């Protein structure tokens, strides 16, 4: 069975609700579900100006790298996930 990579496309929180932990709760839920289904990692693309989401990904153990062909975004990879 090939390894499974979970792709997290969107985590969005209303402006009025930011800085209350909702983004972290959503992202942690994605990581937990990915782990449950046996995924090896969670990948997401984040706009380079979204420093809060980039920082959250790093806090959750992500490596963050620039995307040479898309300088407006960076790739965040949380993993390997432990089952």
Residue 66 CB neighbours (<10 A): 11
pLDDT tens digits for range 6-29: 999 999 999 999 999 999 999 999
* DSSP 8-state secondary structure symbol assigned to residue 20: S
Residue 66 is predicted with a pLDDT of 96
The mean pLDDT of the chain is 95
Helix axes 51-59, 22-36, angle to 10 degrees: 50
82 or 39, greater pLDDT: 39
Q: Is the pTM of this model over 0.85?
A: yes
**pLDDT, tens digit, for every residue of 28-48?**
999 999 999 999 999 999 999
- If one counts every other C-beta atom within 10 angstroms of the C-beta of residue 64, the result is 14
């Amino acid at each position: 069975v090939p390894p499974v990579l979970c792709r997290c496309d969107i985590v969005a929180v209303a402006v009025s609700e930011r800085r209350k932990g909702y983004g972290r709760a959503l992202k942690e839920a994605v990581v937990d579900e990915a782990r449950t289904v046996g995924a090896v990692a969670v990948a997401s693309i984040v706009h380079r100006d979204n420093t809060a989401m980039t920082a959250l990904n790093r806090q959750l153990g992500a490596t963050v790298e620039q995307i040479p062909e898309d300088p407006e975004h960076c790739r965040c990879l949380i993993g390997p996930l432990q089952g």
